[in-house]
Amino acid sequence: QSALTQPASVSGSPGQSITISCTGTSSDVGGYNYVSWYQQYPGKAPKLMIYDVSNRPSGVSNRFSGSKSGNTASLTISGLQAEDEADYYCSSYTSSSSLYVFGTGTKVTVL
Amino acid sequence: EVQLLESGGGLVQPGGSLRLSCAASGFTFSTYAMTWVRQAPGKGLEWVSAIRSGGDRMYYADSVKGRFTISRDNPKNTLYVQMNSLRAEDTAVYYCARVPGRGTKGGWLDPWGQGTLVTVSS
């Protein structure tokens, strides 16, 4: 099972919006609305930011939103803030022998 | 407060074994699927294994199948992974995570423990 494809890095200025893509196949991203997104600071555990493509857990800022089109899911961060600088990973349920597949990860830099 | 606390990591020689534990608190452990995810130094996340709430069905990544065994003790609120025939490429921080929602049928991972480091080296 190959990892989902994410851009290695995305950057933006404070207040701007950025979008991180997550491309898979019809066996994972395209086949199920079971995409989730995780934020990870250096040396820390990942934190759930979005589940089931576009649902935000309680306590997560509404500046974070998710969507999906075909085999590509996206995470948008609007009103970018310094605290958003972190690594972001997508994940999807997969019909392959592996239950879950993660994305390659994207480093978000706030300029 | 929901908490997950991993333990058992350390330095082990290639070919050796190690058992990791994940102590859960703050929720009804027996009603949730659980999973292990690892992260090699400087690398991305890799799903390792998952187990249903009742412990009746286990799932493994191809990279660990036949070497790792996931299990749980619901009365003790603890998740385990027994890792045998360890290789250098198994070196990673190992996280346990709860799987809410629909469990192993596409549930998300929340929360995660703080992780425990496993180093496989001679």
pLDDT tens readout for residues A26-83: 999 999 999 999 999 999 999 999 999 999 999 999 999 999 999 999 999 999 999 9
For the record, the structure tokens of B72 come out as 């749980």
Residues 6+ apart with CB under 8 A from A108: A9, A10, A11, A12, A18, A20, A77, A84, A85, A86, A87, A88
Task: Please name the member of A32, A93, A102 whose beta carbon is closest to the beta carbon of B46.
Answer: A102
CB contact under 8 A, A104 and B105: no
- The per-residue pLDDT for A96 is 83
CB contact under 8 A, B50 and A99: yes
Q: Are A5 and A102 in contact (CB under 8 A)?
A: no
Mean pLDDT by 10 residues, chain B (122 residues): 98 98 98 97 97 95 97 98 98 97 88 98 96
CB contact under 8 A, B44 and A48: no
C-alpha A48/C-alpha A65 separation (Å) is 12
Burial (CB < 10 A; 0-12, 13-18, 19+), residue A85, is middle
H or E element that contains B120:
strand B116-120
CB contact under 8 A, A98 and B62: yes
Which residues in chain B are closer than 8 Å to A52, comparing Cβ atoms? 101, 108
Q: Which residue of B has its CA nearest to A56?
A: B108
- The per-residue pLDDT for B99 is 96
Residues 6+ apart with CB under 8 A from B37: A46, A102, B45, B46, B47, B48, B94, B95, B96, B97, B109, B112
For the record, the structure tokens of B102 come out as 């629909």
Which residues in chain B are closer than 8 Å to A102, comparing Cβ atoms? 37, 44-47
pLDDT tens readout for residues A91-101: 999 988 788 99
Average pLDDT of span A6-32:
97
